[in-house]
Amino acid sequence: MIVLKRLKLRNFLSHGNSEIDFPLGVTVIVGPNGAGKTAIMDAVIHAFLGFEKDVKTRGESVDDLIRRGANEAEVSLTFEANNREYLVQWIRTKGGRVEASLRRSDLGYIARSAKQVRQEILKLLELDSKTLLNSIFIRQGEITNLVEVTPADRKKLIGRMIGIDAFEKAWENMREIINHVEGLK
């Protein structure tokens, strides 16, 4: 299961310089239209998948994610996965230069290029980019994605969203152990 801890935004969409802490439990983001609520969720997606052309959150070009008047945008996310804390950081300049890094709190840097960071995160989270996009949140106007996927994919997606998949893995492992022990009798 993924636990978001802190999101830092610099010149990302409507955010000049913002820090958002995610306490344990349910986090509710409220505010008037245009205040940047959806931008926070877009930033979480870009923190996990980077500023790549295939990561579309609003249909805009990647450079449109950079706040008007700024030359670069930065997204940093501290999160926990598999009981370990990570910090992922992406910087995108107008014109296309991308810097990326992924650090684990007890090891230091484990990836320092956009490609490596994206691969490590997808491997760490055991998701492909499409499933990750759909499991973070249901974006505005995309509730139909959850309705249109096959029942098996929907079950898998919802299971990952609420953490049931970890229990299913544990149950499978327990069943293997029981079968092995019974085979020794």
- My answer on whether 128 and 165 are in the same domain is no
Write down the pLDDT at residue 161.
60
- My answer on whether 137 and 156 are in the same domain is no
Task: State the angle between helix axes of 151-162 and 164-184 in degrees (0 to 180), rounded to the nearest 10.
Answer: 100
- My answer on whether 160 and 178 are in the same domain is yes
| 87 contact partners, CB below 8 Å, separation of at least 6 | 76, 77, 78, 101, 102, 103, 105
- My answer on whether 69 and 98 are in the same domain is yes
Q: How many CB atoms lie within 10 A of CB 124?
A: 20
**Residue 138 banded pLDDT, cuts 50, 70, 90:** low
Task: Give the closest residue to 57 by CA, choosing from 85, 76, 38, 82.
Answer: 38
- My answer on whether 33 and 123 are in the same domain is yes
Tens-place pLDDT, residues 35-88: 888 889 889 988 998 876 555 555 567 777 889 899 999 999 999 998 999 999
Query: Does the pLDDT at position 20 exceed 90?
Result: yes
- My answer on whether 105 and 171 are in the same domain is no
Total number of domains in the chain: 2
Query: What amino acid occupies position 140?
Result: Q
